[in-house]
Amino acid sequence: MAGRKNGLGRGLDALFPEKKSAVKEPVKKTTAKTENKTVATEKETTGTKEKSNTAEHKKTAMIVKISSVEPNVNQPRKQFDEDALLELSESIKQYGVLQPLLVSDKKDYYEIIAGERRFQAAKLAELQTIPVLVREATDQQKLELAIIENIQRHDLNLIEEAKSYLKLAQDFDLSQDDIAKKVGKSRSAVTNKIRLLKLPIEIQKALMEGKINEGHAKAILAIENPEKQRALLELILKSGMNVRQTEEKTKEVFGDYVSIYNF
């Protein structure tokens, strides 16, 4: 996304407001009429400042009690690596939370849009406060931002990612093309991830735990019968077959009619 021009071409002066001349203006005589006008102007200016401060509050980070922050129930990431979380917690104990959480103001509490891993680690570090950036966002935007952050950090496992795409499609009536554009993936990548949810739960669990990868799952999906899919998973786990060996075994045992690459 192209950034807006910030005037740096005019040098550092562009970053600061121009200084007004120090020449004193002649003192004007005040009357009751002008005094009333001045008071009205001051009230109007005060109101403008208050609005400006409210807008600024949304742009800058602020420190809030960690007890006032709550996770989003639609957070796509459900599993957190305990060792990695402990490492981050130790880092936070020493240096604090360096990147504010992105949250929405729910009046009674702040709901996390992005940054739940930092939040969980901060709780482990027994922090009492945490930095946040408040943003207004719809439920759809919150889910999109959470998915994008997790994908960029490679924090989602394959099934969590697939479920996130499916939720965007079902809850917000987005096409797979729309989803692909929003998360910066190809349409085929989104389609392939969603198809993983057709696998039996045992195979989905193996994917989540990293016992097999997406290539293995692709070969298994070429078989339509769930029992045969489970049998192939068992064979992969017992013999330690790589993706290429799995593809060959799929053709050998279940016939050439399976289309391993056609999904």
Q: What is the residue whose two structure tokens read 């200084």?
A: 19
End-to-end CA distance of the chain: 31
User: Which residues participate in catalysis according to the annotation?
Assistant: 116
| DSSP codes of every residue in 123-167 | HHTT-SEEEEEE----HHHHHHHHHHHHHHTT-S-HHHHHHHHHH
Residue 256 burial (CB count, 10 A): 9
| DSSP codes of every residue in the chain | -PPPP--GGG-GGGGSPPPPP-PPPPPPPP-HHHHHHHHHHHHHHHHHHHHHHHHHHHHS-EEEEGGGEE--TT-S-----HHHHHHHHHHHHHH---SPEEEEE-SSSEEEEE-HHHHHHHHHTT-SEEEEEE----HHHHHHHHHHHHHHTT-S-HHHHHHHHHHHHHHH---HHHHHHHHT--HHHHHHHHHGGGS-HHHHHHHHTTSS-HHHHHHHHT---HHHHHHHHHHHHHHT--HHHHHHHHHHHH-TTS-TT--
